[in-house]
Structure 1
Amino acid sequence: MIMAASQRARNSELKQIETWKRHVIRQLKYRNRTQTSVFQELIQSYHSLLEKSKQRALITKGILGSGSRPSLTEDSLTSLQTTTGELAYQVVELQQRIQIKEVTLDEQHTKLYEVQNHLRDLASEHSVLQKSVAEVQTRNRLLKQEYDSLLEQHQNTERTYRQEKLRSSEILENMILPKQQAAVRMNHRNEKRVRAREASLHKELQMAASKNVNIIEESVNMSPPRPSSRPSSPKSDPSERLERSHGPLFRSASATSPRIISSIRGLFERKIRGKSVCRSEEDLYIPLGVCLVARVPTKAIFTMDAHELGINAVRFSTNSNLLATGGTDRVIKLWGIEAGTLQNRGTLDGSNEGITSIEFDPTGTRILAASYDKSALFWRLEDSVPKVTLTGHSRKVTAARFKYSQRQVVTGSADRTVKIWDLQRAACIQTIEVLSFCSDVVCSEYLIISSHYDRKIRFWDSRAGTCTQEVPLQGRVTSLDLCPNHRQLLSCSRDDILQLVDLRKSNDRVAFRAEGFKCGSDSTKAIFSPDGSFLAAGSADGAVYIWNVNTGNLEKRLPDMHSVCTVTAS
């Protein structure tokens, strides 16, 4: 192919050379015609001069040859001389003209030579350009071949992509189908649970209506309610706890009267106002149990495998009859405490990744949890499906706490933000930007305290969203906890020290250390005992260390029954 292109280029060059020669010949003929017309007068004069010269020669020859002729007259000689002079002058003029014409001709020859040289240069450039065109055409053909091959590869890739997309959709459908079936089963279980609860409530109402109750109106003679023989259950209705905590609520002498029937019905019915997640009984004042004296444990009285994977969070309810555990297996399990053993009371689903923290509300009927799936979840104990899911963080949520009003919650995240949420609207009402990874938060009505990986504890005014104080520590802060009287703050950090900060005098701090204690991870928790007299924290050696707040000494080291202990509960 390349040789054929070279042969075509050579033939084209020969044709151009022949065309150039014909052009030069035409130009020479044209110049001959134009210059002949210019010198025509000179040629004619030259011819007439030659004729006169010939005549003069003939005359001279005739005179010399015929001696018998008489000599010319003086007039004839004079005229001949005059003619000869004129002719000589004309010859001189003609020679000058010839010289001028020769100069002009030389200039034209020079221009012609220059034009010829320029034509030769153009011809060489033309040949170079033709070679370049041939090379470009060759490259274009190669590029066209590459383009065709790439186009074919693209079509194959697109075909493969469509097949993979269809395959992924099939896999997704196969994944969704079991979840849908599980949701149907869960809804069925919930319906059965609701029907059973309604039947139990109806039975209790019938029993209450069939009994006569004599109530003494004087409060001084009022007998205390009899303790129930049944163990408390986390799934029992919160109104039962209300009735037990408040004692008798009615003044009617007969339980069959319309007033007591309506009162009992109003007590057990759960009225949800609009889309609010708060119920009418939650607005009532509920007396909370207060621990007067805490006892330091000495040994483990019950051990079991609670989760399939690791446990990240443990929390007791307010009355300590219910335990919630959350793990990497994405569920929260509820355990009833009966005679020193744990009885499974249910499972709370809804998180897409592992649980990082758990919080009971003061009534013990609601749970708030933080998750690795960048959200916080809110449950009621009687429902395994989350009532509210709070989404808005861009990284995992490390802590979630109820505020004092219980209608707002605070979350801290690894995305360096602390957010305040309204549970009634399930929306974020305030975002506080912080400078470091937030590991934990605690809060009161208007105060939010957050711990961070930049070795600082920050105090925030939730009304203005401003930082009011920073407390520096020597290590990365992993957890926070408030004393039951909200006067002291406990922090755990990676420098293997627990710091107790007096919130009334923030500069007054007490450090707790122990030989062998080591903060093993960034999620190690330290907590107060229910009466605020002791501190407990898990260590990297698998043991639980307990300190006495009043003396500052290590009170107890529970044996290392774990590989690494990072979670403690109060």
Structure 2
Amino acid sequence: MATTELTEPEKQFTKPSPDPKHSEPWKRHIIRQLKYRDKAQKIVFQDVIRSYVNLLERCAQSALITQSLFSPLRPFSISEDLSSLKTATGELAYKVVELQKEIKIKDAFLEKQHAKLHDTQNCVMAVELEKGRLGSEVKKMTDSNLLLKSNYDTLREGYQHLDEVYRKENLHGSAVLEDMICLKGQAAARMNHHNERRQRARHAGLHKELEVAASKSLNIDTVPQSVSLPSSPLLRRNESEEGLKGSSHLRAFRSASVTSPRILDSIRGLFEKKRRGNSLSSLEEDLCTPLGVCLIARVPTKVTHAVDAHELGINAVRFSPRSNLLATGGTDRVIKLWDISSGLLHYRGTLDGSNEGITSIEFDPTGSRILAGSYDNSALIWRLDDSVPKFTLTGHSRKVTAARFKCNLRQVVTGSADRTVKIWDLQRAACIQTIEVSSYCSDVVCSEYYTISGHFDKKIRFWDSRTASCTQEVPLQGRVTSLDISPNHRELLSCSRDESLQLVDLRMSNTRMTFRAEGFKCGSDSTKAIFSPDGSYLAAGSADGGVYIWNISTGNLERRLPDMHRTSVNAVAWSMSGEYMVSVDKSRCAILWSDI
């Protein structure tokens, strides 16, 4: 950029600048500001000054030309003047053309700048409009937030009040429940005492009549043909189990009945079915016990045999009623049978026919048939002398999680993940009743008149088998994984995902006791817990690979068996003899326990 030199008058009036090193700071600041203003003003007027200088040059040239034309004493000729004039005119014309080009370029650039400025102004206007719209929305949102905060504060106050009321009502309900439990316990104790007195009186009367009958002589040849024993399930079972021994007992009772007809009424009273208030148990149910009877179950202490029983994980295990045979079912679609002798498991055979894994196993009370649930939405029944299923019960839309024989042995109950419980007639191999449930069914057990099911909605439901109606619901604290009924059919055991076992008194239909233990954890949604065969203990497998055994009378943990499983224990089984226990896990291992 060109700089403009100062004229002589300006130089005269311009004082030499003081030395910056010796001047004061405010003077140096003023000098810097003056230099900056001088530079800025020179830049603004630079083009004007340049144009002014060109104009002066042109005026000087014009004056020179005019002087040469009109001067009387011209030293040159007219032709020379014309040539110089043409030269100057050509130069001026060339400069005019160049300036016009520059003007056009500047005009085009100015038009672009104007168009860009117009677009920018339009964008600014659009942004201003958007800003106004967003501002209105922000205001509306602020007002809405204030209203919501006011409503939230009101609801919070109401919630605090209701929470306080709920706590008070909960405490009151707990007190009322405790009082009801106490009263129910007292009523049950009185009823039991009354029943025991009546039973003792009946037995005393029966004993007295038997003594009177025994003291009289009787000729068996004179026995009338019309006199016979009352038909009862227990006598029929004794006849089927004991054969000629049962027949000899029947003849003895027949002779006594001829002598004293009242004995028939007494014996008939022992076998007739009774309903004690709202109790779910009956005398006939109590008599529906398996073939074997265990007086005292022995708590196992050590491993006698361990075997990889299946190719994949084992889901179910069950002893036969005579305790000499074990069945295991796994994800590999088969049931394997094992003989037990000398504390060892000996492979006996395989039952196949299922298209998917086995979920549950049960022997019938005679020990001749096996019922199993399967992942292929069906239940299958085998006879022990045939590896092919005798029946396949199909009708569920999802996997069958549990399958049980009913007390009459002519029917089967199945529970499924499709939220139904079905009752099947084995004579027709057809479903005769479907119970719709609102939750996934994990397990079922049966009594004579009731079917009991456990569900994922943390409830145990009691179903009347005759009307398919739900008569009662027992709520728990976790998803139910298994159910088991005591040998005397008076107590129900449930295992749930809240890491606890619940014992329900079926006569009172309320929770009697809760069993927990440090380290016990329910390993899956199908973990099984069982009663001991004498009804004195509870056993269940844990996710840590241990087997836990509780004492029912004390409510305490009786024993934790050593860690022999590598993975979670799915199921346990206790032999009817009370001598052996078997536990199975997800890693296909089956372990036989005993106290010997």
The whole-number CA distance in structure 2 between the counterparts of 1:248 and 1:532 is 29
Residue 445 (structure 2) pairs with residue 457 (structure 1): no
Q: Give TM-score, length-normalised by structure 2.
A: 0.48
**Residue aligning to 1:423:** 426
- For the aligned residues, what is the CA RMSD? 1.9
CA gap of 1:297–1:428, structure 2 versus 1, over 3 A, is same
Q: Give TM-score, length-normalised by structure 1.
A: 0.51
Correspondent of 1:568 among 568, 572, 576: 572
Deviations 1:296-325 (A, max 9, x none): 000111111110111000000111110000
**Residue aligning to 2:501:** 498
**Residue aligning to 1:304:** 307
**Residue aligning to 2:168:** none
**Residue aligning to 2:340:** 337
Deviations 1:90-129 (A, max 9, x none): xxxxxxxxxxxxxxxxxxxxxxxxxxxxxxxxxxxxxxxx
Do the aligned partners of 2:290 and 2:321 also contact (CA within 8 Å) in 1? no
Do the aligned partners of 1:242 and 1:286 also contact (CA within 8 Å) in 2? no
Q: In structure 2, the residue corresponding to 1:302 is in which secondary structure? A: strand
Mapping of residues 515-554 of structure 1, within 5 Å: 515-554=518-557
Give the partner amino acid of 2:492: L
Mapping of residues 342-361 of structure 1, within 5 Å: 342-361=345-364
Correspondent of 1:363 among 349, 363, 366: 366
CA gap of 1:522–1:250, structure 2 versus 1, over 3 A, is closer
Do the aligned partners of 2:371 and 2:379 also contact (CA within 8 Å) in 1? yes
Give the partner amino acid of 1:536: A
The whole-number CA distance in structure 2 between the counterparts of 1:375 and 1:473 is 28
Give the partner amino acid of 2:350: T
The whole-number CA distance in structure 2 between the counterparts of 1:470 and 1:443 is 16
Residue 513 (structure 2) pairs with residue 510 (structure 1): yes
Percentage of matched positions with identical amino acids: 77
The whole-number CA distance in structure 1 between the counterparts of 2:244 and 2:334 is 36
The whole-number CA distance in structure 1 between the counterparts of 2:480 and 2:247 is 52
Deviations 1:347-379 (A, max 9, x none): 111100000000000000100000000000001
Give the partner amino acid of 1:564: S
Do the aligned partners of 1:333 and 1:346 also contact (CA within 8 Å) in 2? yes
In the TM superposition, what is the alpha-carbon distance from 1:561 to its structure 2 partner?
1.4
Deviations 1:250-294 (A, max 9, x none): 99xxxxxxxxxxxxxxxxxxxxxxxxxxxxxxxxx9982210000
CA gap of 1:374–1:503, structure 2 versus 1, over 3 A, is same
Correspondent of 2:377 among 374, 382, 399: 374
The whole-number CA distance in structure 2 between the counterparts of 1:330 and 1:297 is 30
Specify every segment of 5 or more residues in structure 2 that has no aligned partner in the other structure, as ranges: 1-237, 249-287, 575-596
The whole-number CA distance in structure 1 between the counterparts of 2:511 and 2:460 is 14
Do the aligned partners of 1:536 and 1:546 also contact (CA within 8 Å) in 2? yes
The whole-number CA distance in structure 2 between the counterparts of 1:423 and 1:396 is 20
In the TM superposition, what is the alpha-carbon distance from 1:248 to its structure 2 partner?
6.5
The whole-number CA distance in structure 1 between the counterparts of 2:337 and 2:560 is 27
Give the partner amino acid of 2:570: T
Do the aligned partners of 2:239 and 2:247 also contact (CA within 8 Å) in 1? no
The whole-number CA distance in structure 1 between the counterparts of 2:405 and 2:462 is 17
Q: In structure 2, the residue corresponding to 1:293 is in which secondary structure? A: coil
CA gap of 1:293–1:414, structure 2 versus 1, over 3 A, is same
Moved more, 303-312 or 558-567: 558-567
Mapping of residues 321-332 of structure 1, within 5 Å: 321-332=324-335
The whole-number CA distance in structure 2 between the counterparts of 1:473 and 1:244 is 40
CA gap of 1:338–1:507, structure 2 versus 1, over 3 A, is same
In the TM superposition, what is the alpha-carbon distance from 1:482 to its structure 2 partner?
0.1
**Residue aligning to 1:179:** none
The whole-number CA distance in structure 1 between the counterparts of 2:338 and 2:362 is 15
CA gap of 1:359–1:286, structure 2 versus 1, over 3 A, is closer
Do the aligned partners of 2:289 and 2:488 also contact (CA within 8 Å) in 1? no
Deviations 1:195-222 (A, max 9, x none): xxxxxxxxxxxxxxxxxxxxxxxxxxxx
Q: In structure 2, the residue corresponding to 1:567 is in which secondary structure? A: strand
* Structure 1 runs of 4+ with >4 Å offset: 241-245, 247-251
Give the partner amino acid of 2:419: R
The whole-number CA distance in structure 2 between the counterparts of 1:392 and 1:497 is 33
**Residue aligning to 1:387:** 390
CA gap of 1:250–1:417, structure 2 versus 1, over 3 A, is closer
Deviations 1:315-350 (A, max 9, x none): 001111100000000000111111111111211111
Give the partner amino acid of 1:317: S
The whole-number CA distance in structure 1 between the counterparts of 2:247 and 2:495 is 49
**Residue aligning to 1:320:** 323
The whole-number CA distance in structure 2 between the counterparts of 1:564 and 1:486 is 29
Deviations 1:437-470 (A, max 9, x none): 0000000111000000000000000100000000
Q: In structure 2, the residue corresponding to 1:566 is in which secondary structure? A: strand
The whole-number CA distance in structure 1 between the counterparts of 2:479 and 2:290 is 38
Deviations 1:400-428 (A, max 9, x none): 00000001000000000000000010000
Query: Based on CA coordinates, which of the two structures has the bigger radius of gyration?
Result: 1
Q: In structure 2, the residue corresponding to 1:505 is in which secondary structure? A: coil
Do the aligned partners of 2:551 and 2:558 also contact (CA within 8 Å) in 1? yes
The whole-number CA distance in structure 2 between the counterparts of 1:286 and 1:480 is 18
Specify every segment of 5 or more residues in structure 1 that has no aligned partner in the other structure, as ranges: 1-240, 252-284
In the TM superposition, what is the alpha-carbon distance from 1:507 to its structure 2 partner?
2.1
Do the aligned partners of 1:312 and 1:327 also contact (CA within 8 Å) in 2? yes
The whole-number CA distance in structure 1 between the counterparts of 2:463 and 2:247 is 45
Do the aligned partners of 2:502 and 2:511 also contact (CA within 8 Å) in 1? no
CA gap of 1:242–1:304, structure 2 versus 1, over 3 A, is farther
Q: Which has the higher contact order (CA 8 A, sep 6+)?
A: 2
Q: In structure 2, the residue corresponding to 1:337 is in which secondary structure? A: strand
**Residue aligning to 1:403:** 406
Mapping of residues 124-139 of structure 1, within 5 Å: none
CA gap of 1:286–1:365, structure 2 versus 1, over 3 A, is farther
The whole-number CA distance in structure 2 between the counterparts of 1:385 and 1:513 is 42
The whole-number CA distance in structure 1 between the counterparts of 2:486 and 2:290 is 19
Do the aligned partners of 1:479 and 1:491 also contact (CA within 8 Å) in 2? yes
The whole-number CA distance in structure 1 between the counterparts of 2:491 and 2:290 is 23
The whole-number CA distance in structure 2 between the counterparts of 1:288 and 1:356 is 25
The whole-number CA distance in structure 2 between the counterparts of 1:463 and 1:246 is 33
CA gap of 1:243–1:510, structure 2 versus 1, over 3 A, is closer
The whole-number CA distance in structure 2 between the counterparts of 1:530 and 1:464 is 32
